[in-house]
């Protein structure tokens, strides 16, 4: 009887492109394009720049495009070692709150898996199919680790930082050709570096970018170390002094191997439509439904009660008066106010309108209450339920069972392309032509013999 | 009323060489020499080499000694960015189990504080007094964070990895001239990257070196980011989703500021005399007392009962049949067997004799039982108590109240020099002449205008 950690490691090591269903491959391509756009969306962020400066100062200097063994830092279009490229690109792709999310694990896979996988693929000259396979390995591992760690973990820990370290290790380990035992050692080294606390939310600090940067870089390092013979704990996840013992009170070891090889968790991943914390999306879509159905204007609204799961209260609850654009994306009130005013809550709406008096006035009319049905369904299903009280005394109910972007209500390739163009136009990180070229190349990744640069 | 985290940050930022008592300065010099020797002792370790290879592959290439802004990787005598020098030197200094320990916090300060502080001091050309002051800031912060996190934390987490990240951030932040608020941000970024689990002990994996490498590097990064304006949680230690909330059930916030500026925790730090886990030392010294007093030979011993604190059982308990030299340093039985056979348990004794049939036979005669007096006194005092049953039926008691190396039973400068020479001779990391030169220079650090290299 092998351990759950070993089975998961073996899966990540032995996965082959040919065994991944075509629909999952296609969805992984979509996730790659969506991730690339989320990196570009991070252009101009001070926090992302700080991590980029650090990577530049501490890493190799003046690498040319032709330098072997290097990878691209996408925003600066410079080259560095894969370690620092992964660090910088991971920081960049989580700041606009537009990167993907897996509901059941409350884990953002793209922002930790793709930075590490792309950087290593570029540096070793892997094929596009190898990159996709490595990404699927990373998604399948990270999602299961997130599910395993459970809801108690997520109350204090940012799962994308913690589970993300193992996800990055799995993807990089796959690209480096680790065998199952080496992969298990990589997991041990990754899990023992696993970190990320929600405390930063209280003051809207920059830690979210640091969490993804750390997860991608530490996971990558763990895989390289394992390749060199460096050993890690054999049961870092479920062992008596492992991650669950230290950081969870409701861990479920069965989740680690749930449907390995038959259930493709990668394809369960949701795209983000609104540009904010995923916990706001179900209620935002439910409010949009009420507004559309009853043709409400902002001034018609007296108050909005959102019926939510406990996780929403844990993460969004501390944000009462958001002081920055980034913090406003963790405000249920701000998100719903922007939806009521503009019909959607995109990057531009947050950037330009989160402190408008009209937004603040609406924001303060929104409350959250714990709802048993929503909370019980969570995190497998993210149900949105709102009760809207109008100034003329009506009480209107809204409900959505799958928010926009979920697998049953997903984005088409046209919508993903359009979102990518919107993000680039907003941030100025790439021109429309550059985005078109890059996105086309990324959708052809499965036919790419050697992964190179997507931005010149 | 400012938060405990802020007060600690302010102390680390505002500390000045002139306000540190001379006895504490002298002790810090001793700790620096002892740390330097512990790096040299790591020469030849495969795990340390792996981290060194990674740092070399991912960092700046072919730096010359004259390159500005760089630091020395001590074992390879090459230069890198301070980030990678800190990473490599931290990995090196924790493998021989000869680096210092602070009893009350069960925290090894030197191996995380000095690698980060020395690397940054070299790279910015700080003075020796600045380096010493930064080190004291790191010790005072790390020790208090370890005490704050408490015994529940240490059951699962390797405090040197977790508290060590903040200790390194404090030392580097001081050298970079952070103000109190920036230091608080550095603590936020460090604490949210804080990691290190004991699970690796079960299979004698290499994680201990990774923990110190990670703590030194992540702490250093946190300070550089703060200098650049990157923000962190304001109360990463005591906040409702901070370190204590996630990783401790008996955290005591009063410990964070206990005697700040009047109690010098740095000077409470113990040197290691035996070359193994500190939890074995009190019992080892107590056994030595019995053996000396009653002139026992190994074959006179029928069995040894060690009366220990719970922490010893938690850390040493899983190690029943040590399979490697490193794992044998976490075996109470092996340590006591070597003490009985050779009168001390040094690097050579572990390396050459941990699997001798005589050692194994004695090892298996040693047991641990929880002792209320010892456990209650711990971790402030590490009392050693043993009961020795002889083959001729005698029952002999041994007891030491301060194991060799503790502040009340400390090592003289001659003993520290001799230990440094022994470690270098064992590992071959430096010649006797090189050690003499380096140790002399390090003891003159307070008169050094610009910190440079100690090995050519």
Each residue of B217-238: pLDDT tens digit?
Answer: 999 999 999 999 999 999 999 9
Question: Is A57 an 8 Å CB contact of chain B?
Answer: yes
Residues 393-432, chain A, touching B (beta carbon < 8 A): none
Whole-number CA gyration radius for chain A: 21
Instruction: Quote the pLDDT of residue B63.
Output: 78
pLDDT digits (tens, 9 = 90+) for B347-376: 999 999 999 999 999 999 999 999 999 999
CATH class of A4-272+412-447: mainly alpha
Instruction: Quote the pLDDT of residue B344.
Output: 87
Give the mean pLDDT of A108-130. 98
CB A96 within 8 A of CB A347: yes
Residues 74-93, chain B, touching A (beta carbon < 8 A): 81-84
- Residue in A48, A202, A231, A232 to test binding to B, most B beta-carbons within 10 Å: A231
Kindly determine whether residue B53 and residue A228, on different chains, have CB atoms separated by under 8 Å. Answer: yes
Whether A344 has a pLDDT exceeding 90, the answer reads no
Under CATH, which number does the domain A278-404 receive? 3.30.1330.120
Q: Do domains B4-272+411-447 and B278-404 have the same CATH topology?
A: no
**Residues near B93 by beta carbon (within 8 Å), at least 6 away in sequence:** B35, B38, B39, B41, B42, B99, B110, B111, B114, B115, B212
Q: Binning pLDDT at 50, 70 and 90, where does residue B29 land?
A: very high
Q: What is the mean pLDDT of chain A?
A: 96
Partner residue opposite B54 with nearest CB, options A50, A191, A221 = A221
Instruction: Quote the pLDDT of residue A138.
Output: 98
Give the mean pLDDT of B57-86. 90
Q: Which chain A positions have a beta carbon within 8 Å of B59's beta carbon? A: 58-60, 81
Give the mean pLDDT of A160-180. 98
Question: Is B189 an 8 Å CB contact of chain A?
Answer: yes
pTM: 0.93
Residues 282-311, chain B, touching A (beta carbon < 8 A): none
CB A38 within 8 A of CB A93: yes
**Residues near B217 by beta carbon (within 8 Å), at least 6 away in sequence:** B83, B84, B86, B87, B90, B116, B168
Instruction: Quote the pLDDT of residue B62.
Output: 73
Residue of B nearest to A156 (CA): B241
Q: What are the boundaries of each domain within chain B? A: 4-272+411-447, 278-404
Q: Binning pLDDT at 50, 70 and 90, where does residue A380 land?
A: confident
Instruction: Quote the pLDDT of residue A68.
Output: 80
pLDDT digits (tens, 9 = 90+) for B376-386: 999 889 999 99
- Residue in B58, B119, B159, B315 to test binding to A, most A beta-carbons within 10 Å: B58
Instruction: Quote the pLDDT of residue A63.
Output: 78
Whether B48 has a pLDDT exceeding 80, the answer reads yes
Residues 124-183, chain A, touching B (beta carbon < 8 A): 155-157, 161
Residue of B nearest to A207 (CA): B232
Q: Binning pLDDT at 50, 70 and 90, where does residue A365 land?
A: very high
Partner residue opposite B59 with nearest CB, options A60, A157, A201 = A60
Give the mean pLDDT of A226-244. 98
Give the mean pLDDT of A243-263. 98
pLDDT digits (tens, 9 = 90+) for B190-216: 999 999 999 999 998 999 999 999 999
Whether A51 has a pLDDT exceeding 80, the answer reads yes
Give the mean pLDDT of A89-114. 96
CATH topology of domain B4-272+411-447: 2-methylcitrate dehydratase PrpD (1.10.4100)
Instruction: Quote the pLDDT of residue A456.
Output: 85
Give the mean pLDDT of A184-208. 96
Residue of B nearest to A57 (CA): B81
Partner residue opposite A60 with nearest CB, options B60, B204, B233 = B60
Whether A4 has a pLDDT exceeding 90, the answer reads yes
Instruction: Kindly report the number of other CB atoms within 10 A of residue B247's CB atom.
Output: 24
Kindly determine whether residue B242 and residue A188, on different chains, have CB atoms separated by under 8 Å. Answer: no
Q: Which chain A positions have a beta carbon within 8 Å of B246's beta carbon? A: 156-157, 197, 247
Q: Binning pLDDT at 50, 70 and 90, where does residue B75 land?
A: very high
Instruction: Quote the pLDDT of residue B61.
Output: 79
**In 3D, which of A230, A332, A330 has the Cα closest to residue A282?**
A332
Kindly determine whether residue B233 and residue A203, on different chains, have CB atoms separated by under 8 Å. Answer: yes
Q: Which chain A positions have a beta carbon within 8 Å of B247's beta carbon? A: 246-247
Kindly determine whether residue B241 and residue A82, on different chains, have CB atoms separated by under 8 Å. Answer: no
pLDDT digits (tens, 9 = 90+) for A266-290: 999 999 988 999 999 999 999 999 9
Residues 194-233, chain B, touching A (beta carbon < 8 A): 194-207, 210-211, 214, 218, 221, 224-225, 228-233
CB A75 within 8 A of CB A128: no
Give the mean pLDDT of A421-437. 96
Nearest-CA distance from B135 to chain A in Å? 22
Instruction: Quote the pLDDT of residue B177.
Output: 98
Distance CA A355, CA B266 (A): 48
Instruction: Quote the pLDDT of residue A62.
Output: 74
């Amino acid at each position: 009887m092998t351990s759950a950690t070993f089975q998961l490691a073996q899966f990540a090591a032995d996965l082959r492109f040919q065994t991944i269903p075509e629909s999952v491959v296609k969805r992984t391509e979509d996730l790659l394009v969506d991730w690339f756009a989320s990196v570009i969306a991070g252009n101009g962020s001070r926090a992302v720049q700080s991590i980029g400066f650090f990577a530049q100062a501490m890493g190799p200097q003046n690498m040319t495009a032709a330098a072997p063994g290097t990878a691209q830092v996408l925003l600066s279009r410079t080259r560095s070692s894969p370690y620092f490229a992964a660090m910088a690109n991971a920081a960049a792709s989580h700041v606009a709150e537009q990167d993907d999310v897996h509901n059941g694990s409350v884990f953002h896979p793209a922002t930790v898996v793709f930075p590490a996988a792309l950087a290593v693929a570029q540096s070793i000259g892997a094929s596009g199919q190898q990159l996709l396979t490595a990404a699927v390995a990373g998604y399948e591992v990270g999602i299961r680790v997130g599910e395993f760690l459970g809801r108690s973990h997520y109350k204090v820990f940012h799962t994308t930082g913690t589970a993300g370290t193992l996800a990055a290790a799995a993807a990089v380990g796959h690209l480096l050709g680790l065998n199952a035992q080496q992969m298990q050692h990589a997991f041990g080294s990754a899990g023992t570096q696993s970190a990320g606390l929600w405390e930063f939310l209280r003051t809207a600090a920059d830690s979210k970018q640091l969490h993804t940067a750390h997860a991608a870089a530490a996971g990558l390092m763990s895989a390289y170390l394992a390749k060199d013979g460096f050993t890690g704990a054999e049961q870092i996840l479920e062992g008596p002094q492992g991650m669950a013992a230290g950081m969870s009170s409701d861990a479920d070891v069965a989740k680690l191997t749930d449907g390995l090889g038959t259930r493709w968790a990668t394809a369960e991943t949701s795209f983000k439509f609104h540009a904010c914390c995923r916990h706001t999306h179900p209620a935002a879509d439910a409010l949009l439904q009420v507004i559309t159905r009853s043709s409400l204007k902002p001034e018609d609204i007296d108050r909005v009660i959102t019926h939510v799961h406990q996780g929403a209260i844990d993460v969004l609850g501390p944000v009462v008066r958001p002081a920055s654009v980034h913090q406003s994306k963790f405000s249920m009130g701000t998100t719903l106010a922007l939806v009521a005013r503009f019909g959607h809550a995109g990057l531009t709406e947050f950037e330009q309108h989160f402190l408008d008096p009209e937004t603040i006035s609406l924001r303060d009319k929104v409350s959250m209450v714990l709802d048993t049905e929503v909370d019980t369904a969570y995190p497998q299903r993210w149900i949105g339920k709102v009760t809207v009280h109008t100034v003329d005394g009506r009480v209107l109910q809204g409900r959505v069972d799958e928010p926009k972007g979920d697998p049953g209500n997903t984005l088409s390739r046209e919508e993903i392309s359009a979102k990518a163009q919107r993000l680039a136009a907003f941030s100025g990180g790439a021109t429309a032509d550059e985005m078109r070229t890059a996105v086309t190349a990324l959708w052809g990744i499965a036919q790419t013999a050697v992964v190179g640069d997507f931005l010149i």
